[in-house]
């Protein structure tokens, strides 16, 4: 039994790495930065989720395809480490997702007793290593740490497969319908909220990742807890409470509104362990039959379709304007209410297994605590000079024109240009759709800079400031929508450059129903905030505003100067063929600016804009 658990856990680790590349590829490569209709993106993703079900139905869940699917999964994971983005990345990741769903459905549909242990250990391996890497996904890394993770995950699966071949396994016990169907939706609840390392990092930079690692370790331990109706209800309430805290509650912390509450750290400990416990109970008592095995594998694969549908229903809410977070909370209630199976637990830890899992848990806690500092190393930087250099950059959640996560390229560009203060737009700190990475933490670590963040769309998506010097008096001002679907705000903070005080404003105005340049309402609100600032002030970001029209005049009317007035046109979008001037920098009347320029790069779909400020 242990052999099979280790094998499935390893495959789940590899599968989640592939998913971490697949979902962003759907948006950046297939979706082409929102040029492709959302319906087509969703249809393509649904096809990837549905093909495994069709394959299993046509083959009657034949074990003969099991080895082939496993070989495809491992081959895809290795190949993805060598791709440079583009269609190859999209299609390889999609094939890997199809093969992974098919293999997991085949194996988990046969044996109830391995479902929860393999889920818990696989999740701990995938999320634990992601946390240790500072949430910089191993699938994107081209350094030694990425290679180590690749060798470890693929090597574990290879070893476990040969190990399992040498032994005999006990007779199987098929899962119940509820347990089979719940596998992939459980992965969704884990990935979006309760086991999301990026969001945990946002909740608390000091304790978030450690709390999540503790929750994963407890999740393995609860498998040994005898199941009862009382313990099942405690797990249900624990999962629901964690989802409510992580999805529905937003507070003001340190002058910034819309953030996760401090109790979110506890929610990461409770939520993931409760989720694993619910998956562990209610296994069927009857022995396996061919009909039962086939039907349960089909149910696992059907759950994968629900996983894809819920994922896109959730994130579509940010484009369509409904409360996406309520969708997953409601879905979790529906699932755990449906899981009203008998409280039966089949897995028991041997002494050797308990020692092994305990040692691994301690290692994971240490990796979460110290790993980010070791694996996120600063890029080569230029020494600061007498120039005060400000940059505004829409980093598109970290994804370049090739569809790859380009955090390293962004950090190297900013370090090479010797930026003192960086105003970032479209900063993602944990969306599962974008790989579950805390982009701000990654960039701040690579650049050795201080950071401030303000949510816009939700607690982990918004705008940020990076600065060589500490940022003080940070506060944010959410804007009314004025017909825009995506949220917007202005983040104001004070810092210093070469000992001289400066106030900076980072923002990202959102277009109204008429598209580009329909930002007048938010521009007026931004202009009011600009007027309230004293001393040397620089405002910048993706303003979605052309240097003409009512919105532009509203910003100029605040008494600020267009830093690029002497260097127009300054096209910034799209990065591979820039034809629109929508990223801007404005300076207060007391400031003297020079050398405004747009720097070419394909590390985002926007180009960064730089200006030098004379300090007086």
Can you give 250-267 as a three-state secondary structure string? CEEECCEEEECCCCHHHH
Residue 543 to residue 490: CA distance in whole angstroms:
11
Whole-number pLDDT of residue 293: 61
Whole-number pLDDT of residue 347: 61
Whole-number pLDDT of residue 290: 45
Tens-digit pLDDT profile for residues 260-317 = 999 999 999 999 999 998 888 755 444 444 446 678 889 999 999 999 998 888 877 7
CB 109 within 8 A of CB 184: no
Residues of the chain with pLDDT under 50: 284-291, 340
Other C-beta atoms lying within 10 Å of the C-beta of residue 33:
17
Q: Calculate the alpha carbon distances from 424 to 273, 460, 546 in Å.
A: 35, 14, 19
Residue 517 to residue 566: CA distance in whole angstroms:
21
Strands, E, within 417-536: which ranges?
A: 421-428, 450-458, 461-467, 472-478, 489-497, 500-508
Q: Which of the 8 DSSP states describes residue 378? A: P
Whole-number pLDDT of residue 288: 47
Whole-number pLDDT of residue 576: 92
Domains of the chain, earliest start first: 2-373 (1.20.1250), 378-614 (3.60.10.10)
Residue 307 to residue 311: CA distance in whole angstroms:
6
Is the bond leading into 205 cis (omega within 30 degrees of zero)?
Answer: no
Angle between helices 66-80 and 86-108 (to 10 degrees): 150
Handedness of CA 487, 488, 493, 497 (dihedral sign): positive
Residue 262 to residue 208: CA distance in whole angstroms:
10
Where does residue 298 rank: exposed (0-12), middle (13-18), buried (19+ CB within 10 A)?
buried
Structure tokens of 350?
Answer: 């041997």
């Amino acid at each position: 039994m242990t052999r099979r658990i280790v094998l499935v856990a390893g495959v789940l680790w590899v599968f989640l790495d592939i998913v971490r590349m697949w979902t962003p590829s759907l948006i950046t490569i297939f979706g082409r930065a929102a040029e492709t209709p959302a319906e087509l993106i969703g249809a393509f993703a649904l096809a990837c989720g549905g093909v495994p079900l069709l394959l299993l139905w046509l083959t009657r869940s034949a074990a003969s395809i099991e080895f082939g699917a496993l070989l495809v999964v491992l081959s895809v994971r290795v190949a993805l480490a060598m791709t440079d983005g583009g269609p190859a990345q999209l299609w390889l990741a999609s094939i890997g997702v199809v093969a992974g769903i098919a293999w997991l459905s085949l194996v988990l549909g046969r044996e109830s007793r391995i479902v929860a242990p393999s889920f818990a250990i696989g999740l701990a391996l995938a999320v634990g290593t992601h946390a240790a890497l500072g949430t910089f996904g191993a699938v994107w890394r081209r350094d030694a740490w990425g290679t180590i993770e690749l060798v470890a995950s693929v090597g574990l699966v290879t070893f476990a497969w040969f190990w399992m071949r040498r032994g005999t396994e006990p007779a199987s016990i098929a899962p119940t319908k509820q347990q089979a169907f719940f596998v992939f939706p459980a992965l969704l609840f884990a990935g979006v909220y309760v086991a999301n390392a990026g969001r945990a990092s946002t909740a608390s930079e000091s304790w978030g990742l450690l709390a999540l690692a503790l929750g994963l370790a407890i999740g393995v331990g609860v498998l040994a807890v005898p199941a009862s109706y009382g313990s099942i209800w405690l797990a249900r309430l624990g999962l629901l409470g964690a989802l409510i805290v992580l999805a529905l509650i937003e507070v003001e912390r340190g002058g910034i509104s819309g953030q996760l509450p401090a109790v979110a750290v506890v929610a990461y400990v409770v939520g993931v362990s409760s989720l694993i416990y619910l998956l562990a109970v209610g296994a069927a008592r009857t022995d396996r039959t061919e009909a039962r095995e086939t039907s349960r594998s089909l149910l696992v694969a059907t759950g994968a379709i629900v996983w894809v549908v819920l994922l896109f229903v959730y994130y579509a809410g940010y484009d369509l304007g409904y409360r996406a977070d309520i969708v997953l909370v409601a879905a979790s209630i529906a699932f755990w209410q449906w899981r009203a199976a008998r409280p039966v637990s089949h897995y028991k830890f041997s002494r050797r297994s308990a020692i092994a899992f305990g040692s691994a848990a301690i290692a994971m806690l240490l990796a979460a605590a110290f790993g980010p500092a070791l694996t996120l190393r600063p890029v080569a930087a230029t020494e600061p000079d007498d120039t005060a250099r400000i940059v505004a950059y829409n980093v598109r959640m970290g994804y370049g024109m090739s569809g790859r996560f380009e955090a390293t390229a962004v950090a190297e560009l900013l370090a090479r240009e010797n930026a003192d203060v960086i105003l970032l737009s479209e900063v993602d700190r944990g969306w599962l759709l974008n790989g579950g990475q805390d982009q701000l933490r990654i960039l701040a670590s690579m650049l050795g800079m201080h950071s401030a963040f303000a949510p816009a769309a939700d607690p982990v998506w918004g705008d940020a400031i990076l600065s060589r010097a500490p940022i003080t008096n940070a506060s944010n001002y959410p804007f009314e929508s004025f017909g825009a679907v995506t949220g917007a705000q202005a983040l104001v903070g004070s810092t210093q450059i070469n000992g001289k005080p400066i106030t900076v404003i980072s923002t990202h105005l959102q277009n109204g129903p008429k598209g580009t340049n329909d930002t007048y309402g938010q521009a007026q609100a931004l202009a009011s905030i600009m007027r309230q600032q004293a001393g040397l002030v620089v405002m910048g970001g993706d303003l979605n505003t052309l240097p003409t029209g009512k919105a532009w005049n509203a910003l100029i009317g605040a008494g600020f100067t267009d830093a690029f007035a002497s260097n127009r046109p300054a096209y910034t979008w799209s990065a591979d063929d820039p034809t629109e001037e929508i990223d801007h920098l404005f300076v207060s009347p007391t400031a003297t600016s020079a050398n405004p320029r747009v720097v070419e790069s394909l590390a985002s779909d926007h180009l960064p804009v730089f200006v030098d400020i004379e300090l007086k």
